[in-house]
Amino acid sequence: MTLCAARRRRFNPRFIHCYHYMTSHRNIDTIRAEFPLLATNPELAYLDNAAGTQKPEAVLKAMDAFYRTSYANVHRSVYDLSERATAQYEDARGRVAHFLNAQPQEIIFTKNATEAINLVAYSFGEENVHEGDEVLVSILEHHANFLPWQRLCAQKKARLVVAPVRADGTLDEEQMLALISARTKIVALTALSNVTGTRTPLARIIERVHQQGARVIIDGAQAVAHEHVDIRAMGADFFVFSGHKVFGPTGIGVLAARAELLETMQPFIVGGEMVKTVSLDNTEWNDIPWKFEAGTPPIAEAIGLKTAIDFIESIGWPHLHAHEQTLVEYALERVRALKGVHLIGPETYSSDRAPIISFTVDGVHPHDLASILNERHVAIRSGHFCAQPFLNALSYTAAARASFTIYNTHAEVDALIEGIAAAQKIFRV
């Protein structure tokens, strides 16, 4: 076998498994024990999960085992170690594909969701957005799903159209639908707000976008940690997320896209292993997905992400949803009871809300609040959450945010509330 033939032998069926996982009903103490950082710091209330979740032991062990027993570069050699590394890397791709209901060739590994969105803006947007066209986003967007489109529109002399929110911080679906026109070429939307935790009503919007012949990119960075995502049922043309928000490592992101779109797109980054042939006069790009993965990819990180997906599905979505629902309902109830504390977004729980709450405290700057909470071993986020246009639209410049997941407890919500009350006492408000 030639080396080039070995490189093309990447979707060997013996390396792509069918995934069927038994769910469990492990109690929260058992689940917390699976996270080394939490197990060794029992006093810590880690409530910054929207920025990044902690890593279970299984993820750490999988990455460590790869480096200790299986490390080699992938797609480049025919020796056994490289073949094993390649198999593990491509098996991770297959696992992510199954997780999203995609095909392996539709999964591109990036360094994070931000890079994945920039890839689409460059590789698809550059060819399909022209002077006078429109790109539609919502005011809810994280900067990662706003700035690439702002820059693209400036470069192409296109118009960036921004859909507003209602007074309660939820997307105005009717206004969003009204803004979709024949000039619309791309619609970029978050599936779930990283500020309010509210879910975006995607179905009618995506249907209208496709009726106009435009394409949809969904930022799923927050959604994948809280709900089962089926990109086929969703109808997304492009879908992105980051590993570090779903119990996986940093340095790994995913772009899932329709194969027929990827086939037409040019690479975002060029270099080693994303080509078939190179000559002085001509270069032939590799097949999808590899033409978008120049250089050495995040091999260990992909393996860690696969294991993280195994972990979250072993818990089971119904179990995770039930636990998160009780947490966010309890947190909202306790925050509402505090005088001088103002929630951003809907103040009551609904099934369209994930366990993310943002708020302000009269007379206490969010950074001061976060510092006081830190002294009490409560970790929250403070600032603008990379969503300045959204906060500004609601007349805020900064806020505090607590975000929960499967390993958080009601006692940690109590610690948060006690810390807020302590900050109010310190500032005499």
Task: Determine the 3-state secondary structure of 303 from DSSP.
Answer: helix
Cα–Cα distances (Å) from 237 to 113, 144, 251, 316, 406, in that order, read 15, 18, 24, 27, 30
Task: Determine the 3-state secondary structure of 383 from DSSP.
Answer: strand
386 included as an active-site residue: yes
Cα–Cα distances (Å) from 212 to 123, 182, 236, 338, in that order, read 21, 6, 14, 47
Query: Rounded to an integer, what is the distance from CA 12 to the centroid of its chain?
Result: 29
User: Cα–Cα distance between 114 and 112 in angstroms, integer?
Assistant: 5
Which residues, in sequence order, are CB contacts of 86 under 8 Å at separation 6+? 10, 74, 75
Q: Is residue 48 within 8 Å of residue 370, measured between CB atoms?
A: no
* Closest to 413 (Cα-Cα) out of 362, 378, 385: 378
Strand 378-379 to strand 45-46: parallel, antiparallel, or no bridges (unpaired)? parallel
Q: Which of 4, 18, 153, 386 is catalytic?
A: 386
Catalytic residue set: 386
